[in-house]
Structure formats: structure tokens, C-alpha cells
């Protein structure tokens, strides 16, 4: 039930703010409704109203983060020219409020980087169930990097990119391919 829509780098950055601890399917619908120019131009109140209408748990916080992201648009545009996704991710985590490793990796994947993993709860559970990492209650920076390293080893064995492997794992665990 997800229809095609246009997105650019700034819109993708906003999408990754929207979907942190929230359903990606609803984030996709919000992104389609707000549109490229809406993320750039809608007022805080307009964004909040749309997010709230879709049942976003953190509607005001996410609207504020998106409004505060606007001055970083040129930085986000420059990120696509980085040769190393891991260095780009470090910069994103430092500069973008609301971005942890998962959100930064998700953004990078959506703009074409294949060398970073999106470690969400589904991927984390897969790694644990297959004895590739120890079970953890929370995913800290070190746990994220340890999980990514486990996936990198698996990628080498299977001759896949991080992007291919975690998409396959996500599909196996959820039966969905979203973005």
C-alpha cells in the first residue's frame, strides 16, 4: 500500500529522523505526504500536525529536529561525496541531532552507500540467534560496531555488500522490503 514518491537527500535525512523508534511504513507515508519542499518549508506546527495525524509517538520532537536540520542541508549534500561510509557516518552522528549509528547508516544507505550496516532489532536478533554476537539489551556504539564487524565477516564469506546482506536478513525476519 506504499505508493512511489520523489525524495531527495534532505528528504531522506528527514525520513531517517522520522523513523527512529517508529514504524518505517508510516515514515514512508509521512515522507510522501510532506514531500521534498514540505520538509524544507513547512512550519514547525505544520510538520507537527502531519506527524500527529499519522500517529507519530514523538511528533513534536521530530518536527523540531527536522526544522533544526535545515541549516545542515549543504553538509548533507557534501556527505554523498565521501568515499568512506564509516567516516561519513561519524560526521553525521556528530552533527545531526537525533542521529545515532543506525539512523546515520540508514541515511547513507538511502543515498547509495553500501559499506555500512543498518543494525536494527531484527538484524541484532539474527546475529544473536546465529551466535555471531552476544545478546545485548541496548545497542551502544561499541555493540553496533561489533555487530557490523560480524556482518562484515559474513559479507566476505558470502561475497555480498553490507547493503545486500542486511537487506536479506531484514527480509528474512520481517518478510518486508521497504526502502
Give the Cα separation of 47 and 31 in Å (integer): 11
Choosing from 102, 134, 141, 179, which is the catalytic residue?
A: 102
Place of cell 548533507: 76
Give the Cα separation of 44 and 62 in Å (integer): 10
Give the Cα separation of 82 and 12 in Å (integer): 17
> What was the pLDDT predicted at 2?
42
Can you tell me the mean pLDDT for 138-156?
Answer: 94
pTM metric for this prediction: 0.90
pLDDT at residue 130 above 60?
A: yes
Does 141 qualify as catalytic in the annotation? no
Domains and their CATH numbers in the chain? 9-110 (1.10.340.30), 121-174 (no CATH)
Choosing from 1, 29, 87, 120, which is the catalytic residue?
A: 120
pLDDT at residue 1 above 70?
A: no
pLDDT digits (tens, 9 = 90+) for 12-53: 999 999 999 998 899 999 999 999 999 999 999 999 999 999
Does 166 qualify as catalytic in the annotation? no
Give the Cα separation of 91 and 99 in Å (integer): 10
Amino acid at each position: 500500500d506504499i505508493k512511489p514518491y520523489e525524495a531527495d537527500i534532505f528528504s531522506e535525512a528527514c525520513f531517517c529522523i522520522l523513523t527512529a523508534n517508529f514504524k518505517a511504513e508510516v515514515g514512508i507515508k509521512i515522507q510522501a505526504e510532506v514531500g521534498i519542499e514540505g520538509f524544507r518549508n513547512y512550519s514547525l506546527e505544520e510538520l507537527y500536525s502531519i506527524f500527529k495525524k499519522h500517529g507519530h509517538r514523538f511528533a513534536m520532537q521530530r518536527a523540531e529536529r527536522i526544522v533544526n536540520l535545515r541549516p545542515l542541508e549543504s553538509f548533507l549534500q557534501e556527505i554523498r561525496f565521501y568515499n568512506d561510509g564509516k567516516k561519513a557516518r561519524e560526521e553525521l552522528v556528530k552533527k545531526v541531532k537525533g542521529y545515532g549509528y543506525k539512523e546515520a547508516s540508514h541515511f547513507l544507505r538511502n543515498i547509495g552507500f553500501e559499506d555500512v550496516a543498518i543494525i536494527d532489532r531484527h538484524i541484532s536478533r539474527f546475529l544473536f540467534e546465529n551466535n555471531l554476537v552476544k545478546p545485548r539489551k541496548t545497542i551502544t556504539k561499541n555493540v553496533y560496531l561489533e555487530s557490523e564487524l560480524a556482518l562484515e565477516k559474513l559479507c566476505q564469506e558470502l561475497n555480498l555488500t553490507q547493503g545486500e546482506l542486511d537487506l536479506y536478513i531484514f527480509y528474512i525476519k520481517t518478510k518486508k522490503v521497504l526502502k
